[in-house]
Amino acid sequence: MSSPSTVQPGTRRGILAAGNWIIDHVKQIDAWPAQDTLATICSQSDGNGGGPYNLLKDLAKLHCGFPLAGLGLIGNDADGESIQRDCRRHQIDISGLVATEQAPTSYTDVMTVAQTGRRTFFHQHGANALFGAEHCTLDESQARIFYLGYMCLLHRLDAIASDGSTEATHVFRHAQRLGFVTVADLVSNKAADFRAIVVPSLPHLDYLFANEFELAQLTDGIASNDPNHLTIQARMLFDQGTSGSVIIHYPEGALCVRRGEAPIFQPAVRVPAQMVAGSAGAGDAFAAGFVLGIHEGWTPPRCLELAVCVAAVSLRDATCSAAVEPWEQCLAFGKSIGFYPARSLDQC
């Protein structure tokens, strides 16, 4: 396996990923029950969940070749121990992952109806709700990239201060001053005030990842799969303070939009329906592919191509990371199946 690196030696290396650490308890059921009735659990499995956990595990399985480290809070319980064991197996540094007695490890019960594949989620915020700026220990890290996910699902970091800033705003500002490339990822939380939570941090972000729903919540409220409209929405964020890149992913493709440059569009891989076991974690798989490229100094088109290929590979398993393979194999998988037709972009 060849190295993906094009980066010169002697610089910062690696990813420091902070935010939500979650265990997904995935249960396949025979039917969705009516109130006060019973459904049968046909099978069950546990998997990784949450932005930093998914991202770091995906990068490990991609054979990224650079250091991986996590920051977060877990409970002092079986789920927390499971996360720690899994990270050690994948050579992820968890010295910044703190176990607390004050709350359980965050978990999500994922109920999947066997015949339809439709999923319903029951989420316990747990220890993630206690994660704050004091847990973001950045000063001693030599990582190149600082990633935070998910904004809009981190109670303390999302909280709005009297001056309109959030704890996340101050964390990103500090990270940039230290020399990190800063990356934020969002979650499609319908209850969150996206503009109040995200906009204060935009001036301190080098990359913002969002899907079509999340981008709509930040801009005009219209969730679209038209790359021209998505480009217009991304450029609205430049007016709100961001000087970095906006990376949009949606089922048909992905976009990289940067100030003063033409948007870059990459069609998604045309994965046959019979190969799709579930879409959980596909957005994080996309982010892992793109972040690998950022770290290694790739061009945006190359980053986008790998990102959609990693997302496609991840669809083959119901859990978030089980199907992810080394990065070269992900590219080969995408190219062997082929991509959706390219969409023309207006000069928005």
Measure the CA–CA gap between 305 and 302, rounded to whole angstroms: 5
Measure the CA–CA gap between 105 and 264, rounded to whole angstroms: 39
Measure the CA–CA gap between 113 and 28, rounded to whole angstroms: 6
Tens-place pLDDT, residues 153-185: 999 999 999 999 999 999 999 999 999 999 999
Task: Specify which residues 207 forms β-bridges with.
Answer: 183, 245
Contact 280, 288 (CB under 8 A): no
pLDDT band of 279, cuts 50, 70, 90: confident
Q: pLDDT higher for 347 or 147?
A: 147
- The pLDDT value given to residue 39: 96
On the question of pLDDT at 202 being above 60, the answer is yes
On the question of pLDDT at 8 being above 70, the answer is no
Three-class SS string for the chain?
CCCCCCCCCCCCCCEEEEECCEEEEEEEECCCCCCCCCCCEEEEEEEEECHHHHHHHHHHHCCCCCCEEEEEEEECCHHHHHHHHHHHHCCCEEEEEEEECCCCCEEEEEEEECCCCCEEEEEECHHHHHCCHHHCCCCCCCCCEEEEEEECCCHHHHCECCCCCEHHHHHHHHHHHHCCEEEEEECCCCCCCHHHHHHHHHHHCCEEEEEHHHHHHHCCCCCCCCHHHHHHHHHHHHHCCCCCEEEEEECCEEEEECCCCCCEEEECECCCHHHCCCCCCHHHHHHHHHHHHHHCCCCHHHHHHHHHHHHHHHCCCCCCCCCCCCHHHHHHHHHHHCECCCCCCCCC
pLDDT band of 6, cuts 50, 70, 90: very low
Average pLDDT of the chain to the nearest whole number: 94
- What the block records as the tokens of 295 is 């770290």
Tens-place pLDDT, residues 306-327: 999 999 999 999 889 999 999 9
pLDDT band of 4, cuts 50, 70, 90: low
On the question of pLDDT at 119 being above 90, the answer is no
- On the 0-12 / 13-18 / 19+ scale of CB atoms within 10 A, 164 is exposed
- What the block records as the tokens of 117 is 């594949």
Tens-place pLDDT, residues 206-261: 999 999 999 999 999 999 999 999 999 999 999 999 989 999 999 999 999 999 99
- The pLDDT value given to residue 152: 97
Which position has the token pair 């250091």?
67
- The pLDDT value given to residue 265: 97
> Under CATH, to which class is 50-102+138-337 assigned?
alpha beta
CA angle (102 as vertex; 101, 104 as ends), nearest 5: 80
- What the block records as the tokens of 30 is 């025979």
- The pLDDT value given to residue 3: 53
Contact 313, 326 (CB under 8 A): no
For 213, 229, 285, 312, the CA distances from 268, given in Å and listed in that order, are: 17, 17, 13, 8
For residues 78-85, average pLDDT: 97
Model-level pTM greater than 0.85?
yes
- The pLDDT value given to residue 1: 43
For 54, 153, 167, 334, the CA distances from 130, given in Å and listed in that order, are: 20, 11, 12, 39
Three-class SS string for 99-112?
EECCCCCEEEEEEE
Q: What residues contact residue 178 under an 8 Å CB cut-off, 6+ apart?
A: 138, 139
- The pLDDT value given to residue 41: 96
Tens-place pLDDT, residues 59-80: 999 999 999 999 999 999 999 9
